[in-house]
Chains A and B, each alone.
Chain A
Amino acid sequence: MSQIPIVEYLSLDDPPHLVANECKNCKARFFDRRNACGNCGTTEFQKAKVSSTGKLVAFSIVHRAAPTIPVPYISGLVETDDNTTVRSNIIGVEPSPEHIELGMALELETYELEKDDKGTACIAFGYKPV
């Protein structure tokens, strides 16, 4: 069964984790492909493994979205233990304010989102309470 990560910055190596393009000069981290560093302008990068644990620093419970997107869901900003901010859905929690606490400890989890016409599984990630 073949698999593909939803984005290239998700590594499916065991255990799955996020990988950033890290500026060699200033250590700024980016998830997109880079032309140069947005912080210092230099062009040398290295791959950096991002910590899979962190805390919730902001969220929204989204009730209105494009028709293909199931709602409600929790969108969150996660500050990892190595101080990298990641945006993702928060999973394994009821999407209502009383079940979500700012500052709560979270960890990365991957899951199969769907398969394409050739049977390749798209692996997505989210963060769930520790």
Chain B
Amino acid sequence: MSQPVWILGVSMTKFARYEDEDCVDLASTAALAALNDGGISINEMDIMACGSLFQASAGLGQQVLGQIGQTGIPVYNVSNACATGATALRTVYMSIKAGESEMGLAVGVEKMGKMGLLAGADKKADENVYEPSGRYGSVVSVDGILGTNTMPGVFAQAGMKYAYENDGVGFEQFAKVAYKNHKHSILNPLAQYQKEFSEEEIQQSPMMSYPNTLLMCCPTGDGAAAAVLVSDEKLKTLSAEQQDRAVKISASVLTSDPYVEGGQVQPDVNTLTRNAAEKAYEEAGVGPDELDLVELHDCFATAELIHYDNLKLCESGGAGDFIDSGAPFRDGKLPVNVSGGLISKGHPIGATGIANVFEVSTHLRNEAGDRQIEGAKVGLTHVIGLGSSCGIHILEK
């Protein structure tokens, strides 16, 4: 059994819509804050990984080092859908595990502005003469004709499939998930929105893709998060305070989606999450009943609900009862998304998979202020990107 890897410093910017700051500004701000939090210098970093979905091809990692310390270390620019941040973190983790690096910096950043639905019909050519093209030999854009490609719709269908297969799940349960996360966010000053809504207001907000109303969908937005990772051996050479605040990464797992029938028309977000969870619990030697808090990928209310089951936070088939019982509320049996989740904290895609590590680490360090989950010792973070990629980290203090 190799030695564990630790989080030495971690940070996130407030998620918001920034007018003047670009990705380099946001990522540099987060990186400097993580280094500062860990009491360490950029000169001590052996590796850097920078995650961004829409700007990974711009050499963003190098641009950030250009701002905060151009030390010549290897830089990995990574892009992995909504699991981009978790992938950056895991890139640094693997380098330390492999013995190539003692310390490294992982940054995730995104600037989305108001990108909208992130999918939709392609523009038509000027001359309109049908010619089969692409992998399906289609003659027109099929979005809206052969079902939906939009994210709210795809995740709506994922939730409705669960509702078809299990009892006690419907519009009210999905609305309750969003109610919880909006309510949680009022305690998080770094959240993009901090506003509570009644269940009725959530149900009556504009319908995006039934059953997901506007208030059950995450917003687009801008932000960055960063973490400094350190090897067990190196950590032992650092100060007592640094060692005291370090958070252990008990499991770091990344999966892609295995073949399932139907996966070609509707991405299966369940199997790869289940596989990742199983591997993570085994790697950490921790069971779901031992978790004190969970930050999971609630890109839509329908998604959060099915992940209760995928992550084994509830009985099999019991996700509806789980939310109805109040278990995932911050005063419940197993608080889920006390940050406000993607639904209210926001979801600048590349930042999300490190921002959730920031949230859980902050609770484990007993530094979460008003939103602290008292006595938290073990937490789990989860992201999933369509296409598909799932990242899970289990953290312990």
Contact = CB atoms under 8 A, between A and B. Distances in A.
A85 B265 contact: yes
Residue of A66, A88, A126 ringed by the most chain B CB atoms within 10 A: A66
A126 B142 CA distance: 12
Contacts, number: 162
Ranked nearest first, the 6 interchain pairs of A and B with the lowest CB-CB distance are A8-B137, A66-B120, A85-B262, A69-B144, A60-B156, A61-B210
Given A33-B135, A64-B117, A89 B147 contact: yes
A75 B153 contact: yes
6 contacts: A31-B136, A39-B259, A58-B161, A63-B207, A69-B144, A122-B139
A13 to B, nearest CB: 16
Interface in B254-306: 259, 261-262, 264-266
Given A63-B210, A84-B261, A88-B146, A7 B160 contact: no
B136 A32 contact: yes
Nearest to B171: A97
A77 interface: yes
Interface in B131-185: 132, 135-140, 142-148, 150, 152-154, 156-158, 160-161, 163-164, 171
Interface string A1-45: 000111111000000000000000000111111000011000000
A97 B148 contact: no
B141 to A, nearest CB: 8
A78 to B, nearest CB: 9
A95 B288 CA distance: 39
B208 interface: yes
Nearest to A35: B135
B147 A58 contact: no
Interface residues of B, number: 47
Interface in A55-108: 57-66, 68-73, 75-77, 79, 83-89, 97, 102-103
Interface of B: 117, 120-121, 124, 127-130, 132, 135-140, 142-148, 150, 152-154, 156-158, 160-161, 163-164, 171, 206-212, 259, 261-262, 264-266
A46 interface: no
B161 A60 contact: no
A29 to B, nearest CB: 8
Given A31-B265, A61-B209, A120-B130, A75 B148 contact: yes
Contact of A77 (B127, B161, B212): B161
Nearest to A71: B144
Nearest to B161: A58
Contact of A75 (B157, B171, B207, B264): B157
Given A28-B261, A32-B135, A77-B157, A62 B144 contact: yes
Contacts of B127: 117
Interface residues of A, number: 54
Nearest to A90: B147
A46 B24 CA distance: 51
Contacts of A103: 164
A86 B265 contact: yes
A40 B378 CA distance: 39
Interface of A: 4-9, 28-33, 38-39, 57-66, 68-73, 75-77, 79, 83-89, 97, 102-103, 113-114, 116-118, 120, 122, 124-126
Contacts of B140: 6, 113-114, 122
Given A33-B137, A58-B164, A77-B265, A69 B143 contact: yes
Contacts of B156: 60
A7 B207 contact: no
Nearest to A60: B156
A27 to B, nearest CB: 10
A65 B156 CA distance: 14
Given A7-B137, A9-B136, A124-B145, A66 B157 contact: no
B121 A69 contact: yes
Contacts of B264: 30-32, 38, 85
Residue of B124, B139, B211, B259 ringed by the most chain A CB atoms within 10 A: B139
A66 B124 CA distance: 12
A38 B154 CA distance: 21
Contacts of B150: 62, 64-65
B309 to A, nearest CB: 15
Residue of B143, B160, B259 ringed by the most chain A CB atoms within 10 A: B160
B145 A113 contact: yes
A73 B210 CA distance: 10
Contacts of A89: 144-147
A114 B141 CA distance: 12
B128 to A, nearest CB: 5
A75 B106 CA distance: 39
B153 to A, nearest CB: 4
